[in-house]
Chain A
Amino acid sequence: MSGPDISALLLTGWLALVTTLVLLIVGTPLAWWLARTSSRWRPAIEAMVALPLVLPPTVLGFYLLLLFNPTAPIGAAWLWLSGDTLTFSFAGLVVASCMYSLPFMVQPLTSAFTALSRGPVEAAASLRATPLDTFFSVVVPLSKRGFLTAAVLTFAHTLGEFGVVLMVGGNLPERTRVVSIAIYEHVETLAYTEAHTLSLILLLTSFVVLTVVYASNRSQAVRVG
């Protein structure tokens, strides 16, 4: 395997990891709110979270191209803060991936939080645990499986991201050239051997990762049942 392909693999893994961490931080409170709220806005927020599941990546990519460009407010603000544009940069890919993979983090977490019985949470509160303490000492351990599923699905989904990256990335080696883009380029230039190598790596990684999720879900189910 060539140097550029190895760096594409590393970049993809790094992007998936950063995206998963950011979404853990952003997605957890959102999922907690969705699981507990009785707000009338809840259906609309849930729909917004689920949008990336049904929209083609081209829609997100198109909007991001318009939002990220240095003459638009968001693009200009980022350029002023960081000195770099959001398009054609790793930071831009992280933002795009977070939007694109949001449902994969939020939905499993919301189900896990909804499935929690109120008993332990209320018990913790009656023992004067702060809400934050309750969350980390009671909710998180009880929702372990939900967190694992959410994190693994987000990671795997980001590994496989293609359309949005293609539209806003600019195919820059070591910055935005992820594996899916590298495969696309190999296929287009008829370099099928390289395309096979990278595809097989992605296929096996995704398979292993998903098997881990399903296996852990199963063992949990067996233990509970």
Chain B
Amino acid sequence: MRWPSIIAVWRTLETTTSANRTRSIHATLPGCSSIGFCVIRRSLIVLAAAFVTAGTALADTIRVGVASNFLGPATDIASAFETATGHTVLLSAGSTGKLYGQIVAGAPYDVFLAADTARPKALIDKGFAVSGSQRTYAIGTLVLWSARGDVPVTLSRLRAGSYRHLAIAQPTLAPYGRAAIETLSALALTDRTADRLVFGESISQAMSFVATGNAELGFVAKAQVVALSGQAPGHYWQVPAELHRPIEQAGVIVRSDKPAAAEFFEYLRSPVAHDILTRYGYRSP
């Protein structure tokens, strides 16, 4: 239920009743024996009206399952979207694989923003998402990050091997992990780093291994480092885009019967969304 719509109905009723007041309020709202009771009655009508409008396109509530690396920008984009349209967006963050499993099991998401292109495609192929709706909404940026403020992170530090553990996301689970493996291979560091790699089940866990000092270095999403900036010291080295295949993050519309879902999905390529994406270190497709 949305407050703007409740207020709107209340105002409408107010205009009607004050217009009728000269004649008889009782005629408009039967059962009003006093002004106080009348207000209660009016409240009930407003509530009922709000319940009715809650399910329509006027002001809708949509649920969005979002890959955890994109939670920061998604929150900002959702709040801009809410201000612009009056809809409500409820975000649930999780790994792409987990959200995929939930949708197949009937989770009530209207939009799915994945961290890869495979899972959205699989949902469409299996009939769990609106066919033709798949679109890349952002391209991720990989950085090599250290939580310590006193040693700069450079490619030569990675090459020199002056660290015990290098955290990455599990490449089978997370596109950022796959990109990290590709980067190491492009730099001919695969063998040198093999016994130093530790795997987070998601890019967020790889980040937490580095943040807690258990791994000195880690390949993480630039968006996460940006979201942290100001809160923690640390340095990063941005991995040149040509060292790995692009980290394409695709989304799909899961339910076709909600116009607000399509509206939100379209809003992801608005100039406002583009600015937010860029600020978090993503590229627009």
Contacts and interface: CB of A to CB of B under 8 A. Distances in A.
Contact of A171 (B201, B213, B214): B201
A188 B164 contact: no
A45 interface: no
Interface string B180-217: 00000000000000000011110001001100111100
Interface stretch (B61-69, B93-101, B234-242, B258-266): B93-101
Interface in B75-100: 95, 97-98, 100
B214 A190 contact: no
Interface residues of A, number: 24
B173 A88 contact: no
A181 B100 CA distance: 18
B95 A188 contact: yes
Contact of B198 (A69, A88, A166): A88
B249 interface: no
A147 interface: no
A93 to B, nearest CB: 13
Contact of A166 (B165, B201, B215): B201
Nearest to B173: A188
B155 interface: no
Contacts of B199: 170-172
Given A71-B213, A170-B198, A170-B199, A185 B170 contact: yes
A221 to B, nearest CB: 42
Interface of A: 65-66, 68-72, 75, 85, 87-88, 166-168, 170-172, 181, 184-185, 187-190
Given A70-B164, A170-B165, A190-B97, 17 more contacts: A68-B214, A69-B213, A70-B213, A70-B214, A71-B213, A75-B214, A88-B214, A88-B215, A166-B201, A166-B205, A170-B200, A171-B198, A188-B101, A189-B97, A189-B172, A189-B173, A190-B122
11 contacts: A65-B212, A68-B214, A72-B213, A166-B205, A170-B199, A171-B200, A187-B101, A188-B98, A188-B101, A189-B97, A190-B101
